[in-house]
Structure 1
Amino acid sequence: MLHDFPKSYWRDVAGEKTASLQADIQADVAVVGAGIAGVVAALELAERGRNVVLIEAAEFGSGATGYTTAKVSAQHGLVYAELIKTLGEEKAKLYYEANMDALRYLTDQVEQHQIDCDLERQHAYMYSDASSSSAKLLEKEDEAYAKLGINGGDATDEVNGLLPYEVKKATVMRDQLQFHPVKYLQGLMKRFLELGGTLYEMTRVTKIEYGTPHVLSTLTGHTVSARDVVVATHFPFNDFKGLYFAKMEIERSYVVAAEVDQFPEGMFISVDSPGRSLRHIKRDGKKVAMFGGENHLSGHKEETKKCYEHLGEFAERHFGVDEFTHHWSAQDMITLDKVPYIGRMTNDTPHVYVATGFSKWGMSQGIVAGRLIADLITSQPNRYEDLYDPTRSKWKLSDAARFVKTNADVAKEFVKGKVKRADKTVDDLGFDEGAIVNHDGEHVAAYRDPEGNVSLVGSNCTHMGCTVNWNNAERSWDCPCHGSRFKPNGEVIEGPAVKSLPPKN
């Protein structure tokens, strides 16, 4: 049984509120986005003597970092065999080492600042329990691990002694981490504020005027001027700079959580379809298990409640779960070559930096991003700069194919939204139901809440005009083109859109 409204386990932790921006200000560095990438970057820069202001559109820790599975690992699915093939063995090894450095940084920060964030060392397992083709891919990943000197490899017999169902093939990466991401960010934020850093919440940045300094405009009507700007907003709100909207796919995935009597040590992810992600956390002498998966392109599925139901059925069938304490969803950006874009946003804006495209592994990649960008701003050498460079232009054939497919899908969704008929009217809506309706001769996004109150807003995403779709589990309007999401009243939940859907009468 699921609670009616989604709720993240990590968001149960209360934090102190800070004010929104109420005046025009100046700083050495403006960091936009107070998730793991933004907070790590802000702290690193404050430690190095920079005057840093951190700006968050909602509440601190309420973005992607608060809706993760919180695995901190260099095992990012079936990635290393592919990276060796597309980028070469040297860069594949750099990718692994960058993420392992992130694990060491996390451990050091937790120890140094005495952060109570439930940090635990766990082995990370990938497995296939259904597909022979997936098992063969795991064998290739074992070979890649051996080439790159990764501590791990075949673990089929080991996993068959851990999971309550049989697997055909399994691969392990030893000594990875899991933690409580919001508690961790709270610890880093405390240190950042002690160093004189400033945080503004409920302050959405809407545009950048590029210059010396750059000037950020906000919905509060005030501006922030800074020589260096870090855009760590998950999806860049200024994505037209560098055409980032054309270089990433956006996926949603889902998690259900429950107290369990028995659950194996370790973090698990299946490479079959549909995929499943498993981990646990120890709380008050009990284990809370988290079951994730049901990925799909953002805005492409309306009956999202079924995603939670499928995960619930899996948990019940294999782990005897019948009551769930939390459920939530997340959004992920996936780049053309599976490597995040971290660094200078474009060649003609050397003091504007971006961190995006973490491909579902933002806890380690976010730390990589924060440290790398801090090094770039302070002119410190970083051996991962070229690997993650957002302006890298030597596309492989596979990158070009993904670019064409991604943008063809966007074009298809744009046209589909414009030609689709609105068969319903406002009067046809049931309680707690949303739909694109025909209202006074135009298509309008309409929602009737459980009390019968109706919200009417424009149906075209304010980013690039695609028609939004209703998401019945999250009660949101989701754009199928670039993943912008809006509340029933049109307010932006997450970008790239920065403007609300306009109200309709």
Structure 2
Amino acid sequence: MENEAYWILSSEGKNYEKLKKDITTECLIVGGGIPGITTAYLLSKKGVKVTVVDAGKICGGCSGRNTGKVTSQHNIIYSKIKSEYNLKKAKSYYEANNKALNLMESIIKENNIDCSFERLPAYTFTESDDYIKDIEDEFEVCKAIGIDCEYHKSLPLPLNIKAAISFNKQAQFNPKKYIDALAEIVIKQGGEIYENTTIKDVDKRKLNKITSEDGYVIYAYNLVIASHHPFYDGMSFYFARLEPERSYIIAMNKTKDFPKGMFINVESPSRTLRSYEGDGENLLLVGGEKHRVGKGDEDKNYYDILESYAKEKFGEDEVKYKWSAQDWLSTDHIPYIGYINAEFDNIYVATGFSKWGMTNGTVAAMIISDLITSGDDEFKETFTPSRSKSYLSKEFIKQNVNVAVEYISGMLRCGDKEVSIENGEMKIVRIKGVDYGAFKDENGKLFIVNIKCTHLGCELRWNNCERSWDCPCHGSRFDYMGNVLEGPAINPLKSYGEGPNKVEPNIL
């Protein structure tokens, strides 16, 4: 069974051409996920000429590989924001996400989008006495904000629940069907979409000059970087303010009753649960087993762990789909949305959604579309990427100490000198003093790639579940052939015999 998200398999969507000419547009949006496509929808609806480009397929990234929860309940977050900032900031974060949830529902109703959108309660729970106080503190902050929420000492789950909070009137849906429909509406509203179009360079001017991998030039008055991790940094060092985290999801054939609602726990190991009915499927989604990218256990099969958990707790035993997702966590729990830095007034960024990209991605579209059309938005200060605490927090220092350790330890590693590999096996091999990653596929074909990350040169690590080379420093990922799967890296890995990798941070 290939590791592909059910959402992506469930909605083929339209195919869009690759960019093959120079163009000029009012607004170029890089990234065809929920923030990019929603921004394009809102702007084109107001008559702005928009162009969307994506390095792969529309909704082929994290927007199509999540749990499909549309909720303003983001685990234990409001008490954290209150502690980091104040209650006013926590309330603004809630109001933005709640507005985004309602906007998504109105878009679905207005355009008759069939995406299995359903209003349901969302629960955060714990099975540990150690986290009861965290749940209680979160509940008190939520009540002070004015959120429609309830406290529970038990839930209708076969789990030993110690405490829980529910947000009423949240939602779940099929994200791929939603985004595919929005993309078609963007075209009808005069927008353009190009797939398989990778952007490699930005020349910052009043009229931005953006160049694709194939050398075609896009002139754009406004540039929106909604590419999950910014491919262009603008001297803002987003790679140092974002922590990359990978998590895993299985979808099982649901044969037993499951309560109506969405569930996520507070403690580790992480567990997120929901059911899905539609398109002839009746599924139970079980997710979790999160770890920092490049820091997973090579001996663990995270899908097998989730399957064992689902069998033990819920009695389900047929895994139909399995996939993983990469999230970028900000250092202060709030995404970076708005002007890419304090100096540029026509380049915008949306990143760091910290696992809650459906509503936060829509918040990004709301803020950026308002900034482009009116120069202002009620939530711009809450999410501004230029806020000082995102640079000076303990989490920022911790992440960058980790990067330094990984960089140094990678330089000290030595691989095997002999290339003796079985089919389906990976080894790190040292050839002429250089470490390479060697993988032999099921047909016996050997792939040997330089495992120095092309972003900043950190040593890559093997992810056995996804058969990918992952960077423990800043989260770039490559397939075993060397192709880029996730940024911030923009260059592929070189195969043995092709010379050293091209390391290019693209900070300037």
Distance 2:299 2:70 in 1: 27
The structural deviation recorded for 1:272 is 1.6
1:241 and 1:345 in contact (8 A); partners too: no
Decide which moves more: 380-389 or 333-342. 380-389
Distance 2:389 2:408 in 1: 31
1:298 and 1:480 in contact (8 A); partners too: yes
Aligned with 1:235 (options 229, 234, 239): 229
The structural deviation recorded for 1:284 is 5.3
Q: Is the partner of 2:196 in helix, strand or coil?
A: coil
Does 2:152 match 1:155?
Answer: yes
Distance 2:277 2:92 in 1: 33
Distance 2:299 2:229 in 1: 22
Taking the TM superposition and a 5 Å limit, the aligned residue runs for 1:76-87 are 76-87=74-85
Tell me the matched-pair count.
Answer: 495
2:418 and 2:429 in contact (8 A); partners too: yes
- Unaligned 5+ residue runs, structure 2? 498-508
Provide the residue aligned with 2:122 in structure 1.
Answer: 124
Provide the residue aligned with 2:504 in structure 1.
Answer: none
- Unaligned 5+ residue runs, structure 1? none
The structural deviation recorded for 1:437 is 1.1
Partner AA of 2:246 in structure 1? R
Distance 2:329 2:194 in 1: 29
CA RMSD of aligned residues (A): 1.4
Aligned with 2:31 (options 5, 30, 33): 33
1:435 and 1:469 in contact (8 A); partners too: no
2:330 and 2:390 in contact (8 A); partners too: no
1:53-76 deviation digits (Å, cap 9, x = unpaired): 100000111011010111011100
Aligned with 1:308 (options 295, 303, 306): 303
Does 2:216 match 1:218?
Answer: no
The structural deviation recorded for 1:424 is 5.2
The structural deviation recorded for 1:239 is 2.8
Partner AA of 1:56 in structure 2? D
Aligned with 1:400 (options 360, 377, 393): 393
Q: Is the partner of 2:220 in helix, strand or coil?
A: strand
Aligned with 1:369 (options 360, 364, 368): 364
Does 2:436 match 1:438?
Answer: no
1:70-107 deviation digits (Å, cap 9, x = unpaired): 10111001011111122111111110010000111010
Decide which moves more: 277-286 or 65-74. 277-286
Decide which moves more: 440-449 or 106-115. 440-449
Provide the residue aligned with 1:412 in structure 2.
Answer: 405
Aligned with 2:448 (options 443, 450, 456): 456
Distance 2:158 2:333 in 1: 32
Aligned with 2:313 (options 314, 318, 322): 318
Does 2:288 match 1:293?
Answer: yes
Provide the residue aligned with 1:465 in structure 2.
Answer: 457
The structural deviation recorded for 1:401 is 1.2
2:426 and 2:437 in contact (8 A); partners too: yes
Provide the residue aligned with 2:483 in structure 1.
Answer: 491
Distance 1:234 1:442 in 2: 31
Structure 2 vs 1, CA of residues 111 and 469 (structure 1 numbering), >3 Å: closer, same or farther? same
Provide the residue aligned with 2:164 in structure 1.
Answer: 170
Provide the residue aligned with 2:264 in structure 1.
Answer: 269
The structural deviation recorded for 1:214 is 0.8
Provide the residue aligned with 1:98 in structure 2.
Answer: 96
Partner AA of 1:420 in structure 2? R
Does 2:66 match 1:68?
Answer: yes
1:256-280 deviation digits (Å, cap 9, x = unpaired): 1111122111100011211100011
TM-score under structure 1 length normalisation = 0.96
Provide the residue aligned with 2:414 in structure 1.
Answer: 421
1:365-422 deviation digits (Å, cap 9, x = unpaired): 00000111010011253210000000112569xx521111100000111111110110
Structure 2 vs 1, CA of residues 481 and 194 (structure 1 numbering), >3 Å: closer, same or farther? same
Aligned with 1:109 (options 107, 110, 126): 107
The structural deviation recorded for 1:166 is 2.4
Distance 2:225 2:117 in 1: 28
Provide the residue aligned with 1:356 in structure 2.
Answer: 351
Provide the residue aligned with 2:342 in structure 1.
Answer: 347
Q: Is the partner of 1:325 in helix, strand or coil?
A: strand
Does 2:137 match 1:145?
Answer: no
Q: Is the partner of 2:393 in helix, strand or coil?
A: helix
The structural deviation recorded for 1:199 is 0.5
The structural deviation recorded for 1:302 is 4.8
Distance 1:402 1:423 in 2: 36
Distance 2:280 2:45 in 1: 37
Distance 2:331 2:221 in 1: 30
Distance 2:216 2:73 in 1: 42
Distance 1:440 1:489 in 2: 21
1:436 and 1:469 in contact (8 A); partners too: no
